[in-house]
């Protein structure tokens, strides 16, 4: 089996799971977006996914994502990993969306980075979609903000010239049942206004996320396989 066939099979398996989860949750078919996560995998996989109709993928590390975006600009890359403030300018050059905005300082740096990227001609779009990363257990050292701090960060994003608030992203703590975490995140997203999205659910828990109302599931291993060696 060639690599494109492996990726096609992975996409079909995950899409079947999503479709079944939508049906079980009484949701409209096709209402959940699949964001394949290509971290640690070569740009050749990104190219093959594009050939298979994928237009957006997720990446965790700025340097790796930037290199792939430069090599294959046809794809839209989403930043889903933690962003250091000092990396904000770089992220703003290539990211179609950021799922991990977790401070007003970072929002400000991303807005400035967008302005600089536009001045340099590095971007063709003047808005960066931003998801606020929720810290489900309040341990912000692992990324995210507490539920209490979400409204202020949402206001900061709204006030930024080049940022567009898209919704909430959450990763359940390893020691917590994911369903209630996703439900709380869904309620928080809805509290921010109409049309806010929830980015939640990965390979192991996408069914629970869809049942709770997730709009975007981020899946890596179940599509692309294990991380390449070497």
> Would you state the CATH architecture of domain 3-224?
Alpha-Beta Barrel (3.20)
Residue spans of the domains in the chain: they are 3-224
**What H or E segment, with its residue span, contains residue 21?**
helix 3-24
Maximum Cα–Cα distance for the chain, whole Å? Answer: 51
**Stated pTM of the model:** 0.96
pLDDT tens track, the chain, 230 positions: 799 999 999 999 999 999 999 999 999 999 999 999 999 999 999 999 999 999 999 999 999 999 999 999 999 999 999 999 999 999 999 999 999 999 999 999 999 999 999 999 999 899 999 999 999 988 887 889 999 999 999 999 999 999 999 999 999 998 899 999 999 999 999 999 999 999 999 999 999 999 999 999 999 999 999 887 65
Distance CA 52, CA 50 (A): 5
β-sheet bridge partners, residue 164 = 129
């Amino acid at each position: 089996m060639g690599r494109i066939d492996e990726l096609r099979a992975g996409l079909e398996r995950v899409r079947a799971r999503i479709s079944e989860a939508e049906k079980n949750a009484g949701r409209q078919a096709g209402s959940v977006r699949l964001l394949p996560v290509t971290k640690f995998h070569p740009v050749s996989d990104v190219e093959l996914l594009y050939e298979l109709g994928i237009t957006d993928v997720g990446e965790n590390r700025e340097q790796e994502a930037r290199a792939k975006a430069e090599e294959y600009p046809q794809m839209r890359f989403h930043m889903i990993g933690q962003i250091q403030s000092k990396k904000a300018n770089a992220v703003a050059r290539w990211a179609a969306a950021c799922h991990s905005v977790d401070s007003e300082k970072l929002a400000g740096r991303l807005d400035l980075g967008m302005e600089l990227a536009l001045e340099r001609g590095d971007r063709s779009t003047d808005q960066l979609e931003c998801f606020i990363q929720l810290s489900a257990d309040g341990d912000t050292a692992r990324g995210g903000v507490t539920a209490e701090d979400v409204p202020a960060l949402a206001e900061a994003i709204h006030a930024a010239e080049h940022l567009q608030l898209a919704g909430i992203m959450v990763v359940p703590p390893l020691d917590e049942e994911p369903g209630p975490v996703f439900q709380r995140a869904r309620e928080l997203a809805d509290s921010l206004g109409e049309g806010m999205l929830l980015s939640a659910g990965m390979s192991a828990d996408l069914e629970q996320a869809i049942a709770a109302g997730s709009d975007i599931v981020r899946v890596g291993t179940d599509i692309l396989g294990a991380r390449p060696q070497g």
